[in-house]
Amino acid sequence: MPGYDLIMYDEESKQIDAELNRLHSQSNAKVVFLVDKNGQLITSVGETRDIDTTSLASLTAGNIAATGGMARLLGEREFSILFHEGEKDNIHISVIGHRVILVVIFDQRSSLGLVRLRVKKTAETLTKIFEDLAVKTQKEKAAPEGAPSPFAEISDEDIDKLFG
């Protein structure tokens, strides 16, 4: 199989949340969220109650995938930043470490310049966290520490139960 499953542990999850919270407040954003390139929502902070973050995550990944396809046709590796301007809300999307997508939704309380500046800083921090996470995941797979994986124990019965 190509690539590796994305696995998130408590420690990194907390680090990511802390960084996204910092970005959220420093950029005066409404919502900040992080999406796997395959469209899985990793985490979100801010005013998410009225937003369908699952759908947004999938569409964001589709958007990045489509522009990535365009980039390759032009001989670029990827277009790492996308910006969509609306009447009230705007979306700033950036690819981090070729693996995850950082999405910032903001309105007139912020500005594109501020968001770009803050995102740049956050991108560096997140890149480091995800690099460490990849190393940790490989280590855990090779020699699991602590409790055995819950997936090793999955039975036919467990799966049948899911479907009632």
Partner 1 sequence: MSFINYSSREINCKIVYYGPGLGGKTTNLQYIYKKTNPESKGKLISLATETERTLFFDFLPLNLGDIRGFKTRFHLYTVPGQVFYDASRKLILKGVDGVVFVADSQVERMEANIESVENLRINLNEQGYNLDKIPYTIQYNKRDLPNIVPVDELNRALNQRGVPWYEGVAIEGIGVFDTLKNIAKQVLFELKKGY
Stretch that binds partner 1, among 66-74, 79-87, 88-96, 121-129 (CB under 8 A): 66-74
Site map 5..24 versus partner 1, x via CB under 8 A = xxxxxx-xxx----------
DSSP 157: H
Stretch that binds partner 1, among 107-115, 116-124, 128-136, 142-150 (CB under 8 A): 142-150
Strand partners, 147: none
Sign of the Cα torsion 113, 114, 117, 118 reads negative
DSSP 150: G
User: 23 or 34, CB closer to partner 1?
Assistant: 34
Contact 83, 95 (CB under 8 A): no
CB of 109 to partner 1, least distance (A): 28
Q: What element of type H or E holds 57?
A: helix 53-73
Which one among 59, 112, 117, 135 touches partner 1, defined by CB under 8 A?
A: 59
Query: Closest Cα partner for 27 from 97, 99, 98, 90?
Result: 90
Residue numbers at the binding site for partner 1 (CB under 8 A): 1-10, 12-14, 36-40, 42, 52, 54-55, 58-59, 62, 65-66, 68-69, 141, 144, 149-154, 156, 158-159, 161-163
